Amino acid sequence: MSKINCLPDKRSVEISKSDTVLEALLANGIEHTHVCGGNAYCSTCRIMILDGVQNCSPPTSAERALAKKLDFPVHVRLACQTKVTGDVSIRRMVIDNEDIDILEGQLATGAINSDRNVALLVATIRGETNFDEVNFHYDIVYIMSRYFHRVQKVVGQYGGIIPNVMGVRVMAVFGFEKNASLAAERAVWAGLELLKTIAELNVFLKKLSYKPLNVSVGIHYGAAVLIPIDPSKPNVLTPLGDIVNSVSRIEAANQEVGSDLLVSESIYKQVKDKAMINRNGNITLHKTEFKVYEVTGMQGNPPKVAKVEEFNSPAPKRFMAFLQKFLSK
Ligand code: FES
């Protein structure tokens, strides 16, 4: 017999060579989640091997297929498929219904490794014409509603999502979906379209004697950790990481440069064959120098964008429906 040290339960259970980890946990009264009944297609029995990975049986073909789909690191295993020949320490990863809700979000985005390269766009209303200081309350609501409506429309049109709005500052993510392509290019097209639609909005506002909106945009590309912020909307992820600070700095640099749309070098490298660049220069963030480029247009046609799906049905049914759909891919 071997021993499983199990976290977060802080319990030790015995396991024979013929039993799976799932069977051993359940036999010892540890309620380990196993939505598909141990058939290697739900992944809710996933465990992290903290110690003794060399004592684990090789993944079965069914486990390998699921692990590939979900981009599991080697130390994440399915308890329903794993047997052991020596002592192991594990952490159970799906403890309760809340975890299942969160898991659904991870399945939707395609991986538990949620680090990925994305393009981030930040748009901010700036300048002396700061309307919230000069207009009445009703006017602010009216203008901002129109503004956000337009931003949302443009970002969605290019396959982005908006996980973050703080006052007059909007952040959009492009490339959060699995197998995303042309995220940088889509973000630049969206940035230009955004400036165009705000210019049109300003004509409308002028007719009504409102102050114009002065919007500047910064775009950066790099690694971000994407966290679902609402289990009922698994496609809405918020990014964390250095990229978030960097893109804010790039957007703010528009004021120094006197530009409307600046992109980082990592964006520029991906769009340089299509982008019309007016000028470039260096900015600093935390003593690190960034090269930025002012983009004034794009040549050719924007890439086509697939529709982003929403998930609105009740949680348990939704999970099983989602699972069937996920497995049929
Ligand atoms: S119980 Fe579903 S994958 Fe293991």
Q: How far apart are CA 327 and CA 274, in angstroms?
A: 38
Rounded to the nearest whole angstrom, what is the distance from the C-alpha of residue 39 to the centroid of ligand 1?
5
Q: Where are the domains of the chain?
A: 2-95, 115-313
Give me the chain's average pLDDT, please. 83
Q: What is the pLDDT of residue 33?
A: 87
Residue type, 294: E
- What ligand 1 atom has the least distance to the C-alpha of 44? 2
- Helix/strand/coil for 139: helix
What CATH number should be reported for the domain whose range is 2-95? 3.10.20.30
Compute the radius of gyration of the chain from its Cα atoms.
24
Q: What is the DSSP letter of 37?
A: S
Chosen CATH of 115-313 out of 1.10.730.10, 3.30.70.1230, 3.40.50.180, 3.40.50.740: 3.30.70.1230
pLDDT for 250-280, tens place per residue? 999 998 889 999 999 999 999 999 999 998 8
Q: Which atom of ligand 1 is nearest to the CA of 34?
A: 1
Say whether pLDDT at 134 is over 90: no
Burial of 273 (0-12, 13-18, 19+ CB in 10 A): exposed
| 105-109 average pLDDT score | 59
User: Once rounded to an integer, what is the mean pLDDT over residues 132-145?
Assistant: 68
**Mutate which of 20, 26, 41 for ligand 1 pocket (most atoms within 8 A of beta carbon):** 41
Q: What is the pLDDT averaged over residues 305-325?
A: 51
For 195-228, write each residue's pLDDT tens digit: 999 999 998 888 777 778 899 999 999 988 777 6
For 314, the token pair is 């009740």
Q: Helices (DSSP H) in the chain: which residue ranges?
A: 21-27, 61-70, 97-109, 131-134, 137-157, 183-207, 242-257, 265-271, 315-327
Pocket of ligand 1 (CB under 6 A): 34-36, 38-45, 78, 80
Residues near 127 by Cβ (< 8 Å), separated by ≥ 6?
Answer: 214
Residue 50: per-residue pLDDT: 94
257, 294 Cβ separation under 8 angstroms = yes
